[in-house]
Structure 1
């Protein structure tokens, strides 16, 4: 079994309050969950107005499939016009790594 994760550090557009931030981050998280077979959450920078960390994770039987899903997710996030993707970090782990 393979476990993969990806975390995005994003800069939000014209956002000046936490309420406005939620109106950008929540739809992004929801859309990722609908489009891809992953679990998604805002994972950091909750106190900052213009920054967010969004993480996604998935489990698969082989690493190649997992890498393909993570690549698709990264392309999707990078293509969103309302945010700027500052960085993406990812990891893959096998249950046999232990």
Structure 2
């Protein structure tokens, strides 16, 4: 079994409140869930208005499948015109790794 995850650090556009932030983040999370069929959540910077950390996690039988899903997620986030992708950190591990 292979486990992979990617964390995106994003800068939001013209957002002045947490309510405005949710309005921007919610559709991004929904798009990621729909297109990757992976687990997706806002995983950090919840108290900041213009920054967000988004995590995507996937489990599959092969490393190629995990890589494909993480690549798709990164392309989707990078292509969003309403945010700026500051960084993407990814990890892929096999279940029997120590």
Band of TM-score, shorter chain: over 0.9
TM-score where L is the length of structure 2:
0.97
Aligned length: 98
SS at the partner of 1:40?
Answer: strand
TM-score where L is the length of structure 1:
0.97
Unaligned 5+ segments in structure 1 are none
1:7-86 equivalences under 5 Å are 7-86=7-86
Unaligned 5+ segments in structure 2 are none
SS at the partner of 1:93?
Answer: strand
Name the CA distance, whole Å, in 2 between partners of 1:51 and 1:39: 20
SS at the partner of 1:96?
Answer: coil
Instruction: Give the deviation of 1:4 after TM superposition.
Output: 0.3
| Cα root mean square deviation, aligned | 0.7
Name the CA distance, whole Å, in 1 between partners of 2:80 and 2:4: 22
Which aligned runs of 4 or more in structure 1 are off by greater than 6 angstroms? none
Name the CA distance, whole Å, in 1 between partners of 2:76 and 2:61: 23
Deviation sequence 1:13-71 (CA, Å, 0-9, x none): 00011110000011111111111120000000011000000000000111111111101
